Amino acid sequence: MKILWVKAGGLVPPDTGGKIRSYNTLLQLAKHHAITFFSFYTAHENDAHAELSQIFQRVILTPLDLPPTKSARELLDYVSHLFSRDPFNLTKYCRPVVRKKLRTLLEKETYDVILCDFLAAAGAIPWDWPCPKVLFTHNVEAVIWQRHYEVARNPLWKVLSWREWKRMEAAERRYLQKADHVLAVSENDRAVFARFLDPQKLTVTPTGADTEFFQPSQEKEIPNSLVFTGSMDWLPNEDGIFYFVNEIFPLILRQAPDAALCVVGRKPSRRLQDLASRIPNIQLTGWVEDVRPYLAQRAVCIVPLRIGGGTRLKIFEAMSMAKAVVSTSIGAEGLPVKNGEHLLLADDPGAFAESTLRLLGDASQRAQIGQAARHLVEENYSWAKVSKCFGQVLENVVKRTRQS
């Protein structure tokens, strides 16, 4: 197939869950199909996107001069789009220059299918173009903003979250209905979309893990050590750590005063840095080149998320390394895992602390859960297997469109 893959926000480095999923899927698809990668994202130094031309047949890039997150310029940009019917997370990327460049490309080239990666790129897609269009959703975006609204305490942020939630809800429905087919990453997400879409138009493509890269380690674990991995400039991750530190960690420290948490992820906020500076048992690493040593050395991986959608790759990566995981139901939402067999689930602070302490104190149970987790991922969810299913769905969409 000749695939036009359209992505907002860039692809490399693959340092967020969405980028990791897209990057690994694309690597596998590029072995069998001709891919044109079209991306638009915030301009930045040391941009490595041009190197993707070694992987894909063609790479078309549009770096944008976008304001820094939470800056005065971004506030002005937000105000300038106040009356747009699309949410800000779409309008900030889908600029006129992007839409024009994409349409010009389509006027010159013919593709078997257009893949819209994330809803954020949907505002740039010419949905009237005579070519099958597939929307690859990594989350139910409206649900994420609904949960932002529900946990927000700052009055202004609560109002902005409500506005983004309602606009995202309308945009999600509108663009998913425009697409010829929709890919979801979990049965949970599929069920939400099926409320307003023909179920025949929906396919679940499972989350994967690089089972060769993330392997069990023989390194000795640090006693009473915890680890969280994830981009700390993603609000659900930051909210999860504040929730853990304020409501769960004190309960753990009562019984295990030497318990320590290592938070591994890029761009921790000043607010989070201030919190960590007041608690000696917490370490913030910032960006790291390789998360595996941090996972290998810690006894238990925690995922205390209260906000989210789609599926969390951080859990599959930890499971692939045979690590014991304690997660909220939202943190593990959409993953084909069994509580008590592949990980432990706990949704209130007391239960989360109790589950964590139980694993910290029982190396045998940690090993048993970790081995079952590794087996599940290795047997069913390598990126090669996941991407094969992904490619088959695209081929079926193209075939069905040609027949009709």
Residue 68: predicted pLDDT: 84
Kindly give, in sequence order, each residue whose CB lies less than 8 Å from that of residue 346, ignoring residues fewer than 6 positions away: 326, 327, 328, 352, 354, 355
How many domains, in total, are found in the chain?
2
- pLDDT per residue over 238-265, tens digit each? 999 999 999 999 999 999 999 999 999 9
Q: Which structure tokens are listed for 65?
A: 């001069």
Share of the chain above pLDDT 90, in %: 80
d(CA 377, CA 58): 32
Q: Which domain holds residue 262?
A: 222-380
DSSP 11: -
Where do we find the tokens 């860039």?
10
Q: How many CA atoms lie within 13 A of 273 on its CB side?
A: 9
d(CA 297, CA 278): 24
d(CA 178, CA 72): 35
Residue 215 lies in a domain: no
Residue 213 lies in a domain: no
Distance of CA 137 to the CA centre of its chain: 10
**97 and 47 in one domain?**
yes
- pLDDT per residue over 50-76, tens digit each? 999 999 999 999 999 998 877 888 888
d(CA 145, CA 161): 6
Average pLDDT, the chain: 93
Say whether pLDDT at 168 is over 60. Answer: yes
At 42, which amino acid appears?
A: T
**59 and 104 in one domain?**
yes
* Mean pLDDT in residue range 24-30: 95
Higher pLDDT, 142 or 311: 142
- pLDDT per residue over 177-217, tens digit each? 999 999 999 888 999 999 999 999 999 998 899 999 999 99
Residue 217 lies in a domain: no
**328 and 179 in one domain?**
no
Residue 64 lies in a domain: yes
Can you list the alpha helix ranges (DSSP code H) found in 126-248? 141-151, 155-178, 187-193, 235-243
**9 and 121 in one domain?**
yes
Residue 311: predicted pLDDT: 62
- Determine how many CB atoms are found less than 10 A away from the CB of residue 199: 10
d(CA 15, CA 220): 26
Residue 206: predicted pLDDT: 85
Residue 212 lies in a domain: no
**80 and 158 in one domain?**
yes
Determine the Cα angle at 151 with ends 305 and 306, to 5°.
10
Banded pLDDT at 236 (limits 50, 70, 90): confident
* Mean pLDDT in residue range 159-168: 94
**68 and 31 in one domain?**
yes
Residue 336 lies in a domain: yes
Residue 214 lies in a domain: no
**355 and 288 in one domain?**
yes
Say whether pLDDT at 310 is over 80. Answer: no
DSSP 231: -
Q: Which structure tokens are listed for 212?
A: 């060769």
70 in Cβ contact with 81 (< 8 Å)? no
What CATH number is given to the structural domain containing 375?
3.40.50.2000
Closest-CA residue to 97 (of 47, 139, 51, 60): 60
**117 and 190 in one domain?**
yes
Residue 216 lies in a domain: no
**391 and 345 in one domain?**
no
**244 and 199 in one domain?**
no
pTM (global) more than 0.85 = no
Residue 75: predicted pLDDT: 81
**201 and 263 in one domain?**
no
256 in Cβ contact with 354 (< 8 Å)? no
d(CA 282, CA 55): 40
**314 and 174 in one domain?**
no
